[in-house]
Amino acid sequence: MSTSQHLFPKPPRGVDVMGELLHSLSQPLTSLRCSLELSIEENAEQQATVSAALQQTEKVIGMIQLMREYLDAEQPEPRAFLSALAPAVRSLVEELSSIAEVRGVGLRLVGTCTAAMPVPESRLRLALQYLIAALIEAQPGGGKVTLLLGESPAGAVLRAEGEGSSGGPKHRGTSLQTTLRGARIAIASRVLESAGASLVFGGSDVDPTGFVLRIPRGVGAQ
Amino acid sequence: MRILIVEDDAALASFIRKGLEAEHHAVDVAHEGTQGRAMAMEFDYDLVVLDLNLPGVDGLSVLKSLRQRKANLPVMILTARSRVEDRVQCLDSGADDYMVKPFSYLELSARARALLRRSHLPSESVLTVRDLCLDRVERKVERAGRHIELTTKEFALLEYLMRNAGRRLTRAMIIEHVWNLTFDSTTNVVDVYINYLRRKVDDGFTPCLIHTVRGVGYQMCPEGASA
């Protein structure tokens, strides 16, 4: 009895078990990915097979990365980080505008704010990227996405609006794409809400028509 | 260049070794921390690729010892930990770069080249691949003496391809380096921009320099050979 108590003082949390499993999975997946990448050049005859295997491996890796991002979002960073919202949104709009353009969607940013959030910059960018990219994806060709940044005595607001109706179920892509989009939005929500912001969606998680991110005044105060 | 890999996973270490040797580097491998630290201290390496989770002495302790004795030796960390805190700790301890598993070998190879270049050569302001020239300072591109007008994003993409001429680049590497975004396999923005570039850089010229590598991504071929 005492031995088993020593070995298992208390059952591990689900989030820790998941973290360890994902951590352990990353090692064999790295070997698999590297070996396939190196094999492509060596096996001219098998190139199509190796390419297909590499593409499938990369899909699995993409899903594992999403799971890790979700787990990371569940656990606050021990070190204090502070990231400004407006520069993050501005640089993302710059980077995402070419993706929007390729899809025939207009993307513009209006306004600014001075708010900062207690979250690492890379994680804030990731959350905003997932939200804005999902909104761009949900627009039909010729649609527009407008981002409005502003400030009031209550705090800062980022309002994102899609203009043009979604193309319905066909437009949403495969069920895997829909699942992945839903997972990315869940990650974004978790990151932003655990940093003290509130996020409200228009439409649904998998078919967004807009969102409003509110950062109450004082959220970024150290 | 001489490279030391300190990685306890024998399979992964052998793949990395094989890849780096194919790029004409001399590669040594250590499978545990004490051995890796001893080798890094004793021999002159141009780069150390160091796993964090090692038997014996852990990677972070190896890194800290190295920094006391060999402050300028480039060290790239490999780890399965992705949290910002972990990255900050590694960089604060003196790592020059940091790769999270499951990484791509092509990415590791590109970053190793960047570290080696940084420690050995001054940064080039003009990149040249055959008759294609890109001036990073003047922001000008010419092929066979003919001026080519590029947008900011096209310029950044061409610069990345030329800087890695002869190397295969995945779509994920391109989107992460040129767009600074997390890769999303559903977007075709890389393919679209490669097409824009091909029209401006390759159409009407021989040989074609931008090649598709099936199942991987793209490659700029300095010899214009089929990829």
Indicate the residue of A35, A50, A58 with minimum beta-carbon distance to B15: A35
CA distances from A198 to A129, A161, A214, B164 (A): 17, 16, 5, 43
> pLDDT tier at A171 (50, 70, 90 boundaries)?
low
Provide the mean pLDDT of chain A.
84
User: Does A61 contact B at CB distance below 8 Å?
Assistant: yes
Phi and psi dihedrals of B117, rounded to 5? -65, -45
pLDDT band at B191 (very low <50, low <70, confident <90, very high): very high
Tell if the pTM clears 0.90, that is, is over it.
no
Torsion angle, alpha carbons of A147, A148, A149, A153, to 10: -150
Shortest CA gap B129–chain A (Å): 22
* Of the candidates B75, B45, B181, B38, the residue with the CA atom closest to the CA atom of residue A94: B181
Q: Do A38 and B19 lie within an 8 Å CB cutoff? A: yes
Is the pLDDT reported for residue A208 higher than 70?
A: no
User: Nearest C-alpha of chain A: how many angstroms from B57?
Assistant: 19
**What is the per-residue pLDDT across B112-122, written as a single tens digit (0 to 9) for each?**
988 988 776 55
Is B187 close to A78, i.e. CB distance below 8 A? Answer: no
Cα dihedral B2→B7→B10→B16 (10° resolution): -50
- pLDDT band at A105; cut points 50, 70, 90: very high
Higher pLDDT, A203 or A172: A203
Helix (H, G, I), strand (E, B) or coil at A172: coil
Measured between CA atoms, the residue of chain A closest to residue B107 is: A34
With beta carbons under 8 A apart, name residues in chain B contacting A50. 215
Residue B55 has pLDDT above 80, yes or no: yes
Q: Which residue of B has its CA nearest to A51?
A: B215
Q: What are phi and psi of B44, to 5 degrees?
A: -95, 105
Q: How far apart are CA A163 and CA A140, in angstroms?
A: 9
Taken as a whole, chain B contains a residue count of 227
Summarize the confidence of residues B180-184 as an average pLDDT: 76
In order of A149, B25, B82, B188, B202, the CA distances from B218 in angstroms are 38, 23, 27, 13, 14
Report the alpha-carbon distance of residue B201 to residue B65 in Å, rounded.
48
pLDDT digits (tens, 9 = 90+) for A65-97: 889 888 888 877 777 789 999 999 999 999 999
Kindly tell me the burial class for residue B78, based on how many C-beta atoms sit within 10 Å of its own C-beta (0-12, 13-18, 19 or more): buried
Contacts A51 to B, Cβ<8 Å: 214-216
Measure in Å the smallest separation between the Cα of A153 and chain B Cα atoms. 32
Model ipTM over 0.95? no
**What band does A149 get if pLDDT is binned at 50, 70 and 90?**
very high
B83:A99 CB<8 A: no
Q: Is A215 helix (H, G, I), strand (E, B) or coil?
A: strand
Can you read off the two tokens belonging to residue A105? 């969607």
Residues of A in contact with B185 (CB under 8 A): 58-59, 62
A126 inside 8 A of chain B by CB: yes
| Closest approach of B19 to chain A, Cα-based (Å) | 7
